[in-house]
Amino acid sequence: MSRPNLTTSLATRLVELFRRSGLEQGSHVTEQWAADTLEVSRTPVRKAMVFLAEVGILDRVPNRGFFLAQDVGALTRPDLSGDADVEQTAYFKIADDHVGGRFTGSFTSADIGRRYRLTARQADRVLARMESEDLVRRKAGGRGWEFQHVMATVEAHAQSYRFRMIVEPAALLEPDFTVDADAFAQHRQQQEALLHGDILLLPRAELFQVNASFHEMLVGCSGNQFLLDAVRRQNRLRRLIEYRHQVDRSRLAQQAREHLRLLDLVENGDLKEASAFLHEHLDKVRSIKTGAGPEA
């Protein structure tokens, strides 16, 4: 399966360390203490702590170091039950295996149970979740399952972003574009929460949904249902391949800041500038995720 990069993985371990140590808001967190406790060198610890400062879990004070920005209680997510944890692991393993070409063709619930060591009830719940997200569907006649068409190649992913670079910036220039004040406030709050720890703490599926729904909201303000339907379809198609990118969260702080900048531009009525900025934003993300250079 895809694994977090070193910075994301080490940042997660640091948060767990803060929890175990019962640190209070404002506690001084030294690189040496963290490195010694986790038995790693100071260089990767420093990179992880800089990332934690970017997402609002640590405060970085010049010439003094790092301090815990929140009480550890605010960093705690409800513990998952054993069954939920097993199902979540299986869900992402199935997604990763399908995108990686290791699990294709039709299958049954029993196949899922055997392959991913799930009980019949767990397998049914995983499939029900995947069906609700349009990732799998029942075969004609109701016997067995098959995957829906999703993006599974780098080129398809790149084409999806180029399509979005055409549709989404254009949506901001539609004649009926109207700011939905309540939706803007909700999404501003969500993006700000990402910069106050949620980038690291949210589950992959929820993190994807926060950012996908942000783009759907912007396009929805255009009043053009055809544009909104196109973006929603792209989000359904790219969900599985995007999950792979959610394991590396070190780049997401900049993405959240750009989303907030887009909200500012639109709310200020600078729609042409917002459209150009959105095009640049999507191109930048496309370049990062597909390994291709930015378009001219």
Residues 131 and 207 in one domain: no
Residues 98 and 27 in one domain: no
Residue range 147-206, pLDDT digits in tens: 887 666 778 788 889 999 999 999 999 999 999 999 999 999 999 999 988 888 888 778
| Last-in-domain residue among 55, 75, 95 | 75
Residues 100 and 128 in one domain: yes
Residues 191 and 270 in one domain: yes
Q: Is residue 99 part of a domain?
A: yes
| Last-in-domain residue among 124, 147, 170 | 147
* Domain CATH code at residue 67: 1.10.10.10
Q: Which whole-number Å values give the CA distances from 40 to 20, 35, 37, 50, 82, in the listed order?
A: 18, 5, 8, 16, 30
Residue range 33-60, pLDDT digits in tens: 999 999 999 999 999 999 999 989 999 9
| Last-in-domain residue among 112, 147, 182 | 147
- Tell me the residue range of the domain where 68 lies: 6-75
Residues 187 and 268 in one domain: yes
Task: Read off the DSSP letter of residue 194.
Answer: I
Model confidence, pTM: 0.73
3-state secondary structure 16-70: HHHHHHCCCCCCEECHHHHHHHHCCCHHHHHHHHHHHHHCCCEEEECCCEEEECC
Residues 167 and 217 in one domain: yes
* Domain CATH code at residue 163: 1.20.120.530
Residues 259 and 159 in one domain: yes
**Alpha-carbon gap, residue 120 to 108, rounded angstroms:** 11
Beta bridge partners of 28: 67
Residue range 74-86, pLDDT digits in tens: 776 544 344 457 8
Residues 119 and 181 in one domain: no
